[in-house]
Chain A
Amino acid sequence: MRVARTLLIVVLLTGFAGGGLAYADARGDARAQVDFGIKAAQADLWREAIFRWQKAVEIDPTYAAAFNDLAIGYEHEGMPDKARQAYEKALKLDADNDYIRQNYEMFKEVHARATGTHP
Chain B
Amino acid sequence: MRAPLVPIRKLVLPAVAAIAAIVLVACGSSYFEIPIQTPIKPKLDVSAFQRVLVAGFVAGGGTDIDPNVETVRLLRSQLRLKSHLKVIDADAMPLAVIARDQAQTAASNGQPQAASADGASTAPVAPGASPSPADPANGAVPAPAPAQGGVAQGQTTTPPPAAHAPAAPAQAGTAPTPLPAQIKDDKDLAAYDRLFANTAYWKKLGEEYQSPLIVTGTVLFTPHDQSGFVQREQEVYDSFGRRQVVPVRTYMERKGYILRPKFVFIDGRTGATLYSETFREEVLYDSSQDTPALSSYFELMDRVMPGFLNTLASQKIRGTRVLLK
List A residues at the B interface (Cβ < 8 Å).
31, 34-35, 38, 41-42, 64-65, 68-69, 72, 75-78, 97, 99-100, 102-103, 106-107, 110-111, 113-117
Contact = CB atoms under 8 A, between A and B. Distances in A.
Contacts of A78: 38-41
A72 B40 contact: no
A34 B325 contact: yes
Nearest to B154: A116
Contacts of A65: 324-325
Interface residues of B, number: 25
Interface of B: 31-32, 34, 36-41, 43, 155-157, 277, 306-307, 310, 315, 317, 319, 321-325
A106 to B, nearest CB: 6
A69 B31 CA distance: 10
Contact of B317 (A34, A64, A97, A114): A114
Given A75-B321, A106-B321, A116 B306 contact: no
Which of B34, B36, B155 has the largest count of A CB atoms less than 10 A from its CB?
A: B36
30 contacts: A38-B32, A38-B325, A41-B323, A42-B32, A42-B34, A68-B322, A68-B323, A68-B324, A72-B34, A72-B321, A76-B36, A76-B37, A76-B38, A99-B31, A99-B322, A99-B324, A102-B322, A103-B321, A107-B38, A107-B321, A110-B319, A113-B306, A114-B307, A114-B310, A114-B317, A115-B310, A116-B43, A116-B157, A116-B277, A116-B307
A111 B310 CA distance: 11
Please give me the 7 A-B residue pairs with the lowest Cβ-Cβ distance, nearest first: A65-B324, A78-B39, A114-B40, A99-B322, A72-B321, A76-B36, A116-B155
Interface of B is mostly: strand
Contacts of A69: 323-324
Nearest to A67: B324
Contacts of B38: 75-76, 78, 107, 110-111
A100 B306 CA distance: 25
B310 to A, nearest CB: 5
Given A65-B324, A115-B40, A41 B155 contact: no
B36 A72 contact: yes
Contacts of B157: 116-117
Contacts of B315: 114
Contacts of B32: 38, 42
B323 A38 contact: yes
B323 A72 contact: yes
A63 B155 CA distance: 37
Given A72-B36, A97-B324, 13 more contacts: A41-B323, A65-B324, A65-B325, A76-B36, A78-B39, A78-B41, A106-B321, A111-B38, A113-B306, A114-B40, A114-B306, A114-B317, A116-B156
B219 to A, nearest CB: 18
A70 to B, nearest CB: 10
Given A114-B40, A116-B307, A41 B34 contact: yes
Which of B39, B156, B315 has the largest count of A CB atoms less than 10 A from its CB?
A: B39
Contacts of A41: 34, 323
B297 to A, nearest CB: 19
Contacts of A114: 40, 306-307, 310, 315, 317
Nearest to A119: B40
Contacts of A102: 322
Contacts of B322: 68, 99, 102-103
